[in-house]
């Protein structure tokens, strides 16, 4: 069974702090690793994605770190803001196969 394991389930961070969410995968054939952000009552939306030929990708305050040998990747949110409070899903997929999602992390940023 292909799996993507995400941790923690929930996370509370002070405003201005760094939020870190981790994911691990099993299938070395995965070659696309997106992160989705979901606000209450809305569908998930793509936040940032990385392919395994790079070890890091940064978009504004959001950074994906990718460790191919450890089969792990993580999302870092710098200078976390109350507006970042949402559920975050990591995911993985490979060519011509469906996306596998992690179970999600509920992030709450304290004002």
Partner 1 sequence: NAGVTQTPKFQVLKTGQSMTLQCAQDMNHEYMSWYRQDPGMGLRLIHYSVGAGITDQGEVPNGYNVSRSTTEDFPLRLLSAAPSQTSVYFCASSWGSYRTEAFFGQGTRLTVV
- Return the bridge partners of 76, or none: 20, 63
Contact between 79 and partner 1 per CB under 8 A: no
Q: Which of 70, 83, 95, 111 binds partner 1 (CB under 8 A)?
A: 95
Contact between 6 and partner 1 per CB under 8 A: yes
Q: Which of 19, 24, 35, 44 binds partner 1 (CB under 8 A)?
A: 44
Q: Which of 34, 74, 75, 77 binds partner 1 (CB under 8 A)?
A: 34
- Sheet containing 4-7, strands listed edge to edge, beginning at the edge strand earlier in sequence: 4-7, 19-25, 72-77, 62-67, 56-59
CB of 37 to partner 1, least distance (A): 11
Query: d(Cα 58, Cα 23) in Å, to the nearest integer?
Result: 17
């Amino acid at each position: 069974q292909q799996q993507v394991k995400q941790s923690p389930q929930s996370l509370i961070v002070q405003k201005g702090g760094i939020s870190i969410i981790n994911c691990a995968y099993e299938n070395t054939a995965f070659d696309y690793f997106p992160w989705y952000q979901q606000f209450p009552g809305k569908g998930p939306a793509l936040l940032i994605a990385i392919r395994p030929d790079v070890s890091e990708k940064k978009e504004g305050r959001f950074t994906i770190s990718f460790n191919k040998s450890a089969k792990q990747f993580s999302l870092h949110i710098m200078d976390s803001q109350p507006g970042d409070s949402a559920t975050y899903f990591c995911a993985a997929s490979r060519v011509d196969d469906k996306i596998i999602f992690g179970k999600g992390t509920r992030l709450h940023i304290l004002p």
